[in-house]
Amino acid sequence: MAVRPITIIGHKALHQPTKKVKEVTDEIRTLVADMFDTMEAANGVGLAANQVGARHRIFVFDCPSERGEDDNFVGVVVNPVLEKGVVPPGEPDEDDGLEGCLSVPGEHFPTPRAEWARVTGTDLDGNPVSYEGEGLFARCLQHETDHLDGKLYLERLTPSQRDLSRQARKERGWEAEGVTKWDPATQKADDV
């Protein structure tokens, strides 16, 4: 398949809710295969369709498990619906709460998230799927569903972290230079 360019913060596709998938076509199957290739090339743990310019309500993931090194959670969810636990108040733990995003390449900020989450939807064959987890996997499920709702993790930051994220974006020159995409096939996230 193919590695697709990833949209970065400032691109309007990241701030618009995606559309439900009514039918899984060959085009959708190709998109999902490309999303897995793109996520792997970018060293990501999840990727939403709107991050590669598609308005479909789909995300893929290959998220490390706390159970073991070679025991990842891997899958695709079409039309996901999120359930989650309570988000603890206050500043998140800088060790357990760091979050990054392929659409905010090279940056990581402590992000308040629920410790538990579940996503239900369907696979590419229309079969019901349900993924549930804690810790990093719960964070991944929440993060990717946020993308499909038109939200970036930066919008979840506490005020002090939000200020730091604005400063980082300014230093990288993304808004000033009009950078809207990066290509994980030829670039590293830290170089964008």
**Model pLDDT for residues 111-145, shown as the tens digit of each residue:** 999 999 999 999 999 999 999 999 999 999 999 99
- What residues form the annotated binding site for Fe cation? 101, 143, 147
Written as one letter, the residue type at 76 is V
For residue 77, the tally of other CB atoms under 10 A from its CB is 25
**Is the full-model pTM beyond 0.75?**
yes
Active-site residue numbers? Answer: 144
Place domain 4-174 in its CATH homologous superfamily.
Answer: Peptide deformylase (3.90.45.10)
Q: What is the pLDDT along the chain (192 residues), one digit of tens a residue?
A: 799 999 999 889 999 999 999 999 999 999 999 999 999 999 999 999 999 999 999 999 999 887 666 789 999 999 999 999 999 888 887 777 899 999 999 999 999 999 999 999 999 999 999 999 999 999 999 999 999 999 999 999 999 899 999 999 888 877 666 778 899 999 888 888
Contacts 24+ apart (CB under 8 A), 164-170: 164/109, 165/104, 165/107, 165/109, 168/107, 169/9, 169/104, 169/107
- Torsional class of 10: left (φ above 0), alpha (ψ -120 to 50), beta (otherwise): left
pLDDT at 10: 86
- Longest CA–CA span in the chain (Å) reads 45
pLDDT at 69: 63
- What residues form the annotated binding site? 101, 143, 147
Q: Under DSSP, is residue 165 helix (H, G, I), strand (E, B) or coil?
A: helix
